[in-house]
């Protein structure tokens, strides 16, 4: 299980399962540029002045292009990165408002895939009618000079390492696996690795805004995408248009607090699942109480730690893969029936169901190849915040508080947070309040039982932002927009279409 600050919604939207986050990072001073070509620094003029050459994507209705950005904004003459952009033009009727940039989270989720497979179809028709739907794969992600770290076989081994070590040998093996991962990233992607911070990606978004001809950036970001959107508003408050930050992060928190809060969030999500499960005839965790359900799940994990079970392929279901499969299903209550079936099968010695959930979480294809999600995720997170734990000794000291936060997942979450401890690039970001003084109203959305982005993070971000307004979904799952609440969707659609934010504190169910 590698849950270390993984907060995405993209996989959920595509019917798989999903993951987290980071804090703020620095990368030089913000450029001065307007959408219509107001003066920019001489070094950045070639980027703000480039012309986009759109072409057919091969996907009906979509156009694609590539834009250039500085590898290092502090040294724009030191080379470029090429970033993939996709759009679907406004369909009408109604007057076009502008471009709506969308980001599915991660970090590491492909925004281009998200747009082409979901957003440009799944977003409400009135929104698609009046906005060009646009996405950009962030630097280091998917089509935008992707970070690479391990081969498919190496990733298979990495995902099976015991993340609840019981002795010094297992602790050493886990620490070694994190070091091997980090070493692979440096060897395969050493040039771009120091330049995938959230601040740099936010600056890329401003270059794109200008190239699209928009005076303001209109944006919907989910999960980690909320941190990206808030960072943009902090850097360019006068250019922040209609911003929706759904499944919000709290940029004021250090890494250890983020990990501990997420641990508690997944425990709360499991309690909701368990309460529902014990009422179902097919619940594999008993029929009495959530406490008994937790005991039964922990027993399954212990059994798999001692003896993994077959899956119908060469890989066996280990404790770590089983835990990841369960975690994956916590993002969306629609996955609960699948999880009940998968857990029951594992108890019978068939690990294929939980393995499938884990593979969806890691974005592992049937051919054994992995998307670069996990590589980019680590690269961004480890650059954006100082590691939660520099070494195993610090993890061991923190175990009691993590296990208190989640008796089911706490131990694994604590050890998973060690993975930035071996990172080859020093973190550039620091946690701090994000106020974005001068920005137009920004809608912050929180779900009360969100496992990956706990509701209190949304409350905190809305309070920090000088123009933040909090919209609450009282329910389960990760994020809220487009997940079945007419109240939430109507409030956000109204804001996107006419600029009127919901009343601060509005609640929906």
Q: Is 77 a catalytic residue?
A: no
Contact 2, 374 (CB under 8 A): yes
Task: Kindly state the tokens that stand for 390.
Answer: 């520099």
Contact 127, 497 (CB under 8 A): yes
Q: Which helix (DSSP H) or strand (DSSP E) does residue 215 occupy?
A: none
Q: Please tell me whether residue 100 adopts helix, strand or coil conformation.
A: strand
First to last CA, the chain: 31
CA distance linking residue 77 with residue 82, whole number of Å: 15
Beta-strand relationship, 468-476 and 7-8: unpaired
CA distance linking residue 74 with residue 27, whole number of Å: 6
Phi/psi for 439 (5° steps) reads -75, 155
Cis peptide before 64 (omega within 30 of 0): no
Q: Which of 137, 246, 250, 450 is catalytic?
A: 450
Q: Please tell me whether residue 6 adopts helix, strand or coil conformation.
A: coil
Q: Is 206 a catalytic residue?
A: no
Q: Is 218 a catalytic residue?
A: no
Q: What's the distance, CA 145 to chain centroid?
A: 19
CA distance linking residue 435 with residue 226, whole number of Å: 14
Q: Which helix (DSSP H) or strand (DSSP E) does residue 353 occupy?
A: helix 352-362
Q: Which of these, 84, 97, 100, 372, lies nearest to 221 by C-alpha position? A: 100
CA distance linking residue 107 with residue 112, whole number of Å: 14
Q: Which of these, 444, 445, 446, 442, lies nearest to 466 by C-alpha position? A: 442
CA distance linking residue 156 with residue 67, whole number of Å: 34
Q: Which of 223, 272, 406, 422 is catalytic?
A: 223
CA distance linking residue 272 with residue 264, whole number of Å: 13
Q: Which of 467, 478, 485, 489 is catalytic?
A: 478
Q: What is the DSSP letter of 23?
A: -
Q: Which residues of 300-335 are buried (b: 16+ CB within 10 A; e: fewer)?
A: bbeebbeebbebeeebebbbbbbbbbbbbbbbbbeb
Catalytic residue positions?
Answer: 223, 450, 478
């Amino acid at each position: 299980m590698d849950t270390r600050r993984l907060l995405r919604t993209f996989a959920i939207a595509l019917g798989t399962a999903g993951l987290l986050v980071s804090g703020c990072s620095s990368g030089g001073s913000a450029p001065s540029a307007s959408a219509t070509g107001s003066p920019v620094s001489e070094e950045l003029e070639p980027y703000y002045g480039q012309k986009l050459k759109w072409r057919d994507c091969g996907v009906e209705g979509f156009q694609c292009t590539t834009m250039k950005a500085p590898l290092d904004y502090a040294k724009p003459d030191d080379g470029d990165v090429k970033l993939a952009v996709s759009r679907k033009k406004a369909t009408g009727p109604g007057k076009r408002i502008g471009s709506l940039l969308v980001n599915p989270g991660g970090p590491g989720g492909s925004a281009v895939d998200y747009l082409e497979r979901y957003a440009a179809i799944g977003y409400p028709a009135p929104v698609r009618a009046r906005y060009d739907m646009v996405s950009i794969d962030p630097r280091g992600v998917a089509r935008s000079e992707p970070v690479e770290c391990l081969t498919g076989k190496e990733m298979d081994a990495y995902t099976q390492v015991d993340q609840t070590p019981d002795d010094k040998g297992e602790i050493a093996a886990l620490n070694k696996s994190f070091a091997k991962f980090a070493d692979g990233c440096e060897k395969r992607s050493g040039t771009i690795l120091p330049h995938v911070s959230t601040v740099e990606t936010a600056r890329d978004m401003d270059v794109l805004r200008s190239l699209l001809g928009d005076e303001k950036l209109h944006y919907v970001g989910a999960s980690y995408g909320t941190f990206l959107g808030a960072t943009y508003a902090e850097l360019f408050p006068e250019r922040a248009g209609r911003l929706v930050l759904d499944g919000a992060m709290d940029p004021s928190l250090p890494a250890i607090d983020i990990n501990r809060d997420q641990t508690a969030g997944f425990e709360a999500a499991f309690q909701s699942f368990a309460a529902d499960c014990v009422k179902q005839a097919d619940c594999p965790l008993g029929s009495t109480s959530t406490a008994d359900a937790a005991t039964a799940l922990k027993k399954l994990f212990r059994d798999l730690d001692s003896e993994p079970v077959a899956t119908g392929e060469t890989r066996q279901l280990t404790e770590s893969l089983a835990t990841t499969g369960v975690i994956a299903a916590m993002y969306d209550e629609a996955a609960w029936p699948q999880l009940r079936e998968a857990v029951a099968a594992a108890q019978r010695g068939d690990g294929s169901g939980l393995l499938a959930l884990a593979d969806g979480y890691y974005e592992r294809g049937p051919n054994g190849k992995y998307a670069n999600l996990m590589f980019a995720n680590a690269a961004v997170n480890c650059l954006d915040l100082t590691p939660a734990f520099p070494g195993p000794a610090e993890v061991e000291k923190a175990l009691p508080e993590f296990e208190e936060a989640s008796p089911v997942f706490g131990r694994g979450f604590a050890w998973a947070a060690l993975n930035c401890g071996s990172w080859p690039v020093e973190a550039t970001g620091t946690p701090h309040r994000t106020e974005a003084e001068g920005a137009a109203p920004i809608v912050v959305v929180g779900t009360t039982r969100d496992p990956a982005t706990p509701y209190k993070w949304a409350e905190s971000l809305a309070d920090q932002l000088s123009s933040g307004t909090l919209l609450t979904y009282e329910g389960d799952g990760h994020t809220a927009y487009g997940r079945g609440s007419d109240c939430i969707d109507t409030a956000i659609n109204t804001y996107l279409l006419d600029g009127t934010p919901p009343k601060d504190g509005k609640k929906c169910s």
